[in-house]
Amino acid sequence: MDKMTQLPPKDPELDALIGYQLQMARLRLMDAAYAVLAPYGISPARVTALALIRAQPGLDQSALGRALSINRASAMKLVNLLVERGLVERRAGRNLRSHALHLTGEGETRLPEMIARLRDSEAPLLADLSSTDRATLLQLLQRIHDPLSCD
């Protein structure tokens, strides 16, 4: 029996959808990201949360949730996990019903390492792109998710 090598199917209409290309590119990058973060036992999305907390120390859980496009209950679970890992702490907030989120010393130490690893993990996948291409890609993506930032 001849094996009839099956190339992955391709559909021109599908290929023309930004959402599809975005998803496929993301799958590749995510695989690489999970691999380099394995030693930290943390997902790329968790690193995002840490970076947002660092960028705005004292943020409360609901605001973190909004920044990540997840709801309060999901933000709660996320923060619980980061606290368990010793990367984040809940301090007294600006009023009695909200917490102020801060990185712990451990979090401050680990976050730059994690981000460096993520950057490394992207490199092989971007090898074919010139640095101009990469800058263009970053800018175009940013203009989709954050239209205000096109100054």
Partner DNA sequence: TATTGTTATACTCTATAACTATA
Partner DNA sequence: TATAGTTATAGAGTATAACAATA
Residues in contact with DNA by the rule CB under 7 A: 1, 43, 45-46, 60-63, 68-79, 90, 93, 95-99
Please report, as residue ranges, which positions from 87 to 146 form the binding site for its own copies (by CB under 8 A). Answer: 94-95, 112, 115, 118-119, 121-122, 125-126, 128-129, 133-134, 136-138, 140-146
Q: Among 43, 61, 67, 89, indicate the residue that binds its own copies (CB under 8 A).
A: 67
Could you tell me the sign of the dihedral formed by the alpha carbons of 139, 140, 146, 151, in that order? Answer: positive
The tokens describing 113, both together, are 């390492």
Give least dist CB 125 to DNA, A.
18
Q: What are phi and psi of 102, to 5 degrees?
A: -140, 150
Please choose, from the candidates 110, 111, 112, 88, the residue with its C-alpha nearest in 3D space to the C-alpha of residue 101: 88
Q: Which does 11 bind (CB under 5 to 8 A by kind): DNA, its own copies, none?
A: its own copies
Q: Are the beta carbons of 102 and 88 closer than 8 angstroms?
A: yes
